Structure 1
Amino acid sequence: MRSNCSVYIDAGYLLASAAVRVAGTSLRNGIHVNYAPLIDQIQTVAQEYSGLPLLRAHWYDAAKDAVPDAQQQRIGELPRTKLRLGRIGMDGLQKGVDLRIGLDMAAHARNRIADVFILVSGDDDLTEAVEEAQSHGVQVIVMAVPNANDKPHAVSHHLIRAADEIALLPGTVIDETVMRVEAPPVPKQLPVSQPAIVAQPQRSIAPQPAAVACPTPRDLAAAANRAPAAAPTATLAYSSVTGSAGRAMPGFTQEDEAECTPDTIDAVVDKVVSTFVHSASADDLAQLRRDRPSIPRDIDRALLLDAAQVTGVYDLSEYTRYQLRERFWKRVLSA
């Protein structure tokens, strides 16, 4: 049997890391992805790096009730690409994705479908799957996504130690297939057709109004965050994604407070908010304002992932989570 390589792509890691490279934060709705060329280029890189023909690439993502959406269906129809889906739980989090990757790698290694596995992920939970595949004589290469400085982004130290080799996906693969989302432009007001004006003695013609300028994302954010007359205007403290505003958070230690400095928290929050405002429509911003104090799951996840990446602490304390969410609302309301 001829030798092959097989690719395992953790879509959550790939897209979040690509978003950090392109937009500066892991917020996925801040980017637009051309999936077909992205996957095709990853397949090409895998063959060139391993020196072996590709058997297939496996794309791991999550969907509601594990039913693929339209985009995921198109991914599953790509040549030599196998779609593997976990679920999105009631809490909005992915379920079963890491387990599917681990089970597939273990089964494929036992059956020796390929001699080299290339894993596009940085998840610590896949360490044992890597070691299980290696025990069956398979070489496992972890291929990381580069950050803006062309360094591996968010790869677990345990995964680095377990892998046979750490490779870097070329930055051009991301730069050519992933783009930062631009907010849809607000159309300029079109002039209303006016009937011809016949000059009349002793009458003056009122000046025409100036053209309406297209508002910037900052203008849209300000408009969306403008409180209605009957609404309170005080900034609300926020304790959790579905928690209540204004609740005190007693009992924190100095160690909790030292985990993530105020400047670091501000930097993370500013990047997430600016990316969201840059890519959101006026309706999106207004909906965010109406849903306060609930933070959309994708935004909350980006806040936590970005903070974890900056601090190197992947189990953030409740104090840090509280501060991130509280300052998120302060930043949104002051935008």
Structure 2
Amino acid sequence: MGIPDLATSAFAMKYAILVDVGYLYAAAGEVLFGARERREYRVAADELIQVLQKHGAEGLPGELLRVYWYDAAHDRVPTVDQRVIAALPMVKVRLGNLNKQGQQKGVDAQIRSDLDALARHGAVTDAVLLAGDEDLVSAVEAAQAYGVRIHLWGVEPSYGSNQAERLVWESDTVQVLSADLLRPYFRQAHPLPHHATQPSAAPTPAEVFAARAPAAKSVRPHSLGATLSKLGPNPNTVEEVGEHVAQKWILTRGRDNIRDLLPGPILPTVIDTELLIEAEKELGHSLRPYPEARVWLRDGFWARVYREFDITVGKATK
């Protein structure tokens, strides 16, 4: 009876934080260390979760329902670290399967299911989604149809973007977690022995994308346009842009989708066009008057993909 006061209304507001751990760790490992695999760094996950909870409390209305922590394990058997996380208050661990190739299976489906259930039953008024995969767009739209506001959090990228463009478009608010915020909770593991039979002359992801090594040529978005002159685009720059697009797609579209393009080096027409468009956005210039630039772009793209899947080949066939 009567109109509830503002304090009561605010208390009724709740939010959940849904974290795609695969995205969070991969993106943070890339920007902090130029790392490609989780074994290259260690994470103080319990402290990291507390920071995410604090960050949410400072910027969102109402109270936290819980944190959903989506990770993967072989045969869905939790690791010691995952058992520790599962025991934390206000945290729900959801495990997908980790196959023999180290690929996560079923994580996106769990995120979609939980987000739908929370929205449909009115359990939350707001949801934080810390993820980057375009497969989550439909779940975002469905939750919004039930009146839930979606706050997309992302990790500061080492270059360009590490979240799907459509996911960014559909979210109600978008926020980037800085590398400085995450750095205290990640530490680099001791160097692992090289498994390759011979050293590779190709630059590492850290050299190409994070500019951590002095030997690497650092190409920043604002300076790329300067590489185009009357003589045409610079081959090295175009190849680096191709590598960057491949890196972004691995993070945002998932390794499984990129694996479907193998063995290469021919790209489906639609994908080849998307690659060209992405590269032109980075360069700020059209590559269409330069047929040879398309070849360099594909070379860079496949160089990054082949490194991702430990395939030893030469450059893409021209």
| TM-score, structure 2 normalization | 0.62
After TM superposition, the structure 1 = structure 2 runs for residues 1-335 of structure 1, keeping only pairs within 5 Å, are: 2-148=12-158, 153-183=161-191, 266=203, 268=205, 307-309=246-248, 316=258, 317=261, 318-319=264-265, 323-324=303-304, 325=306, 329=312
Q: Distance in 2 between matches of 1:123 and 1:311?
A: 10
SS of the residue corresponding to residue 114 of structure 1 reads coil
Sort the Cα spacing of 1:179 and 1:330 in 2 relative to 1 into closer, same or farther, 3 A. farther
CA positional deviation for 1:27:
2.4
- Residues 57, 306 of structure 1: CA spacing in aligned structure 2 closer, same or farther, 3 A cutoff? farther
Which residue of the partner structure matches residue 292 of structure 2?
none
Size of the alignment, in residue pairs? Answer: 229
The equivalent residue for 1:241 is none
Please report how far the alpha carbon of residue 267 of structure 1 lies from its aligned counterpart in structure 2 after TM superposition.
Answer: 5.2
User: Whole-Å Cα distance in 2 between the matches of residues 94 and 225 of structure 1?
Assistant: 24
Letter in 2 for 1:33: V
Partner SS for 1:65: helix
* Distance in 2 (alpha carbons) for counterparts of 1:30 and 1:61: 17
- Say whether the 8 Å CA contact 1:25–1:306 is kept in structure 2: no
How far, CA to CA, are the matches of 1:125 and 1:26 in structure 2? 22
Cα-Cα RMSD? 3.6
User: Aligned equivalents of 2:251 and 2:33: distance in 1?
Assistant: 20
CA distance in 2, matches of 1:26, 1:90: 17
Is there any run of 5+ residues in structure 1 with no aligned partner, and where?
185-219, 228-234, 237-262, 276-303
Post-superposition CA distance 1:198-239 (Å, at most 9, x none): xxxxxxxxxxxxxxxxxxxxxx75xx7678xxxxxxx99xxx
Contact 1:47 1:54 in 2 (8 A): yes
Amino acid at match of 2:248: Q
8 Å Cα contact 1:58/1:84 also seen in 2: yes
| C-alpha deviation, 1:26, in angstroms | 3.5
Contact 1:118 1:142 in 2 (8 A): yes
Are residues 176 and 269 of structure 1, via their aligned partners in 2, closer, same or farther at CA, if it must alter by over 3 Å?
Answer: closer
**Distance (whole Å) between structure 2 residues aligned to residue 58 and residue 305 of structure 1:** 30
Aligned 8 A contact 1:144 1:167 in 2 = yes
**Separation in structure 1 between the aligned mates of residue 197 and residue 166 of structure 2, nearest angstrom:** 47
Q: Distance in 1 between matches of 2:252 and 2:68?
A: 29
Q: 1:145 and 1:122 mapped to 2: Cα distance?
A: 9
Structure with larger Rg: 1
Does the 8 A contact of 1:5 with 1:54 survive in 2? Answer: yes
Q: Which runs of 5+ in 2 are unaligned?
A: 1-10, 213-242, 266-297
Find the counterpart in structure 1 of residue 276 from structure 2.
Answer: none
Distance 1:157 1:127, change over 3 A: same
Deviation digits for residues 63-108 of structure 1, max 9, x if unmatched? 1111211111111111211000111235542111000000000001
With 48-57 and 6-15 compared, the bigger mean Cα shift is at 48-57
**Secondary structure at the residue paired with 2:53?**
helix
Partners of 2:110 and 2:171 lie apart in 1 by: 19
Residue number in structure 1 paired with 2:226:
none
Distance 1:312 1:62 in 2: 16
- Percent of pairs with identical residues: 26
Q: Cα distance 1:53–1:171, how it changes in 2: closer, same or farther (>3 A)?
A: farther
Structure 2 match to 1:212: none
AA at the equivalent of 1:22 = L
Query: Which amino acid letter does the alignment assign opposite residue 166 of structure 2?
Result: H
Distance 1:313 1:45 in 2: 23
